[in-house]
Structure 1
């Protein structure tokens, strides 16, 4: 059974960009694509609108990635509950940064409840820079983020930069030296010898550090929770193109 990337659409331009990103990712990683539209209660004609938006998204995905299996489904109910449920059997969930259905807002408030990676695609997309950045704070959630990030870097054949934010003035600072950061990353280097993994220790608040690193990246990956607040940093900066 082919594992699917789930992409939520709502007929908006950011959702179209999310479909394009998801189709490319599915093609690159040999996965299927499941496109869903959560058609919440709306005025007369909403179902027809939702069905049309879903069909247009599927046509776009098939045009970009004809070899990728594409399935679609119109879902009833609440966007939050529906997309969290969709995340459980999925490789990942991909959403636009803004849109008619408020998908990105759902993620900001509920990312910790998703069962797997959630990708928020900025619109308009930036010029490809060829790199993946992952924020690391030493937590188990950061290790889960590392797994997704290194797989993405391997599929894209680009370097992975692992960013540690060091706050010497903060009692919970955990990375005191570049050597300690390297020790956290070395097991991943051994597991993925074909991926160039670069560990970076930067003084400063996680928000500023990750935003600076992500400005030149194609993809920024963070854990849903953790010691350093990386997820809040990224999700709070969606409109600024950090993700």
Structure 2
């Protein structure tokens, strides 16, 4: 694990909660935390109770929130000129984890995910965690395994995260029997899952791993599994993903509909 976690804030209650999540992640990693506000010009009104609060106070309050959640973490704050996606993409180049809220300052469900978080997640140079305010602190870390080379970084991240949290790792591979190649079956799916996890269990011997091969529509199965998880980890693109498609359909579905926080892992590029 590295030494910097970055939290994006925009004055919304969702981003305020995400700063608290980022502080906990920084403490787990023995990392510093940087709280960043993207300063778009002209600054547009924000439809939240903090409308009349100067922007520097918004950032200071977010930083104080982080310090109260994790007193031992070194917290810095910054207002960076530029559009949100560009600012956070640049921040991700030096970060080991970028944490965002699930909703923006407008307060409309899905607004941030539709315009900013999905774009940031697709272009980030480090793993992105989209934090939900209601995420529990108990339950497993659910790992979405599809066996693609692109998902290898997600497997490593999920094992590390489970170790940091002292949580069970539930590794889930979903297959569609109707679309499986001839001659393949559940045994092939189980073998794919075992191969994807090979070597990681030895590196993290204290992590209890539960393997699950499920049949059904991938997004529906994983969203259902998120109900009892404290975190869901997925790769940015799945097997068969187009080169230009930076964020796959499963990742996008989880960002929008998961019942807990979601980490999307592309690895460094």
TM value normalised by structure 1: 0.89
**Whole-angstrom CA distance in 1 between matches of 2:261 and 2:66:** 24
Q: Which runs of 5+ in 2 are unaligned?
A: 241-248, 263-269
Answer yes or no: is 1:134 the counterpart of 2:143.
yes
Answer yes or no: is 1:237 the counterpart of 2:247.
no
- Whether contact under 8 Å (2:147, 2:193) holds in the other structure is no
Aligned length: 240
Offset, 1:47: 11
Indicate the residue corresponding to 1:207 in structure 2. Answer: 219
- Whether contact under 8 Å (1:135, 1:230) holds in the other structure is no
Q: 2:177 aligns with which of 133, 153, 168?
A: 168
Offset, 1:216: 0.5
Superposed counterparts of 1:56-95, under 5 Å: 56-95=61-100
Offset, 1:171: 4.7
**Whole-angstrom CA distance in 2 between matches of 1:174 and 1:164:** 13
1:84-112 C-alpha deviation (Å, 9 max, x unpaired):
11111101110000021765331223422
Q: Which runs of 5+ in 1 are unaligned?
A: none
Indicate the residue corresponding to 1:224 in structure 2. Answer: 236
- Whether contact under 8 Å (1:9, 1:35) holds in the other structure is yes
**Whole-angstrom CA distance in 1 between matches of 2:191 and 2:149:** 20
Indicate the residue corresponding to 2:26 in structure 1. Answer: 26
Of stretches 102-111 and 38-47 in structure 1, the one that deviates more from structure 2 is: 38-47
Over 4 Å off, 4+ runs: 43-48, 171-175
Of stretches 42-51 and 141-150 in structure 1, the one that deviates more from structure 2 is: 42-51
Answer yes or no: is 1:146 the counterpart of 2:155.
yes
- Whether contact under 8 Å (1:234, 1:242) holds in the other structure is no
**Whole-angstrom CA distance in 1 between matches of 2:57 and 2:158:** 34
- Whether contact under 8 Å (1:108, 1:236) holds in the other structure is no
Q: Secondary structure at the match of 2:160?
A: helix
1:113-167 C-alpha deviation (Å, 9 max, x unpaired):
11111000113x2333232011111112211111111111001111111110111
- Whether contact under 8 Å (1:7, 1:36) holds in the other structure is yes
Q: CA RMSD in A?
A: 2.5
- Whether contact under 8 Å (2:136, 2:260) holds in the other structure is no
